[in-house]
Amino acid sequence: MILRHADIWQAIDQLAAEHGYSPSGLARRAGLDPTTFNKSKRIARDGRPRWPSTESIAKILEATGATIGEFVSYVGTVPSAGGAMRRVPVVAYAQAGAKGYFDETGYPTGNGWDELLFPEINDTHAYALEISGDAMDPVYRDGDTIIVSPAASLRRGDRVIVKTTDGEMIAKQLARRGARKVELLALNSAAPDRTLPTEQVAFIHRIIWASQ
C-alpha cells in the first residue's frame, strides 16, 4: 500500500467521525492541541504537505480505543459510516459569536471553520458547534458536538441556537416565537430563561443532532 498524504488525513477524519468527534474534538480528547488536525495544519506555508506524527496517531488510537488495523482500514477508502458522508463546517461554540463566522443570512462563512464528516443531510448550510464547559449540563456536556440546521423548520419545544444582533450565541429551548418577542427556556436549571425582542434576534437555527 502506498500511503498518500490525503489518505492519512482522510483516515483521521473518518476515525473522528466514527467515534462522534470532529477532528479538533478528537485532538482535544487525545490530549493534543485542538488545532493539531485542522485543515490549516495539513499544508505548510510553502505548500509542502504536513504529515501527522506517529505520536499523535498513537494518542488518538488510545483515546478512541481503536486498533491500528481499524485506522489503516480507513486509509484510501471512501467514508461509509451511515451511507453517504459530507463535510460539515465546525467551530467551537464559544467562538461562534465572533465576527466572520456567519454571513448576513445566517449561513456559515469565512475560513475560521474546521470540518467534520457527517452522514448526508438535506441542508447544504448545516454546521456544527463544539460544546465546552458545563453551562448546558445535562443536555449538552463538555466535548459534545451538535449539528445545527438553518433550513429546519422551528416548533415550540425545539432546541435551538440563537444569535443576537450583538453577537451573543444562545443555546436554549424554544418556548414561543411571536411577532414581537422570542421566549427561550434554559437547558440548565441553574441558568435563566430568556425573552428577546425580535429586533435583537439575528437568527434562530434548530439543533438536529448531538454526539451523545
Match 464547559 to its residue by C-alpha cell: 133
Measured CA to CA, the distance from residue 24 to residue 27 in angstroms comes to 5
Q: pLDDT tier at 82 (50, 70, 90 boundaries)?
A: very low
Query: 96: closest CA among 178, 170, 196, 185?
Result: 170
pLDDT at residue 83 in the model: 52
Would you call 60 helix, strand, or coil by DSSP?
helix
pLDDT at residue 72 in the model: 80
Pairing of strands 127-130, 85-92: parallel
Cell numbers for 122, please give them.
Answer: 438535506
5-74 classified as CATH 3.40.1050.10: no
- Select the more confidently predicted residue: 184 or 8: 184
**Domains in the chain: boundaries:** 5-74, 85-210
pLDDT at residue 87 in the model: 83
Most confident residue range from 5-9, 75-79, 190-194: 190-194
Q: What is the pLDDT of residues 151-180, one digit of tens each?
A: 999 999 999 999 999 999 999 999 999 999
Q: pLDDT tier at 77 (50, 70, 90 boundaries)?
A: low
Q: Is the dihedral of CA 84, 87, 209, 200 positive or negative?
A: negative
pLDDT at residue 2 in the model: 54
Cell numbers for 7, please give them.
Answer: 489518505
pLDDT at residue 44 in the model: 83
| pLDDT over 90 (residue 181) | yes
Give the mean model confidence (pLDDT) for residues 60-84.
74
Judge whether 5-74 and 85-210 match in fold: no
What are the phi and psi torsion angles at 173 (to 5°)?
-105, 130
| pLDDT over 80 (residue 1) | no
Q: What is the pLDDT of residues 95-149, one digit of tens each?
A: 999 999 999 999 999 988 988 877 777 889 999 999 988 888 888 888 888 999 9
Q: What is the pLDDT of residues 17-70, one digit of tens each?
A: 888 788 888 898 899 998 898 888 888 888 888 899 989 999 999 999 988 888
Tell me, yes or no, if the pTM score tops 0.75: no
> Which residues face 210 on adjacent strands?
146
What is the homologous superfamily of the domain 85-210 according to CATH? Umud Fragment, subunit A (2.10.109.10)
- Select the more confidently predicted residue: 183 or 79: 183
